[in-house]
Amino acid sequence: MPPWDETLSLSYREAFEKRFRTLSFASHETPYMWWGTLRYAATRFPTTHLEPLDIVLPDEPRAGQSPTLLADWRRELKKFDETLELRRRLVKEIPL
């Protein structure tokens, strides 16, 4: 499948970052829809949009936050960042 265009890529980033800022990381939240899009987005962003998302996870869970949910998010975001990093290196090392 071809890369997303600029408009879709920017719209996805904005929507994802906005939604992520509203998460409370409580165990009753089910943000799984967004997890499913992360891996897809990591492979579809155009090469001009391979910078990491503007996401900051808390180091430790706060009151009411699920340690498991935070760990799951940390793992998914790490996979996303690793995919983007691999793509950045490929673009740099294999000129087209």
Render pLDDT for 46-65 as a digit per residue (tens, 0 to 9).
998 898 888 888 888 878 87
Packing angle, helices 6-21 and 32-44, rounded to 10? 150
For the chain, the residue count is: 96
Render pLDDT for 62-76 as a digit per residue (tens, 0 to 9).
788 788 888 888 899
In contact, 42 and 1? CB cutoff 8 Å: no
| Of 49, 32, 56, nearest in space to 84 by CA | 49
Q: Residue 46 is which amino acid?
A: P
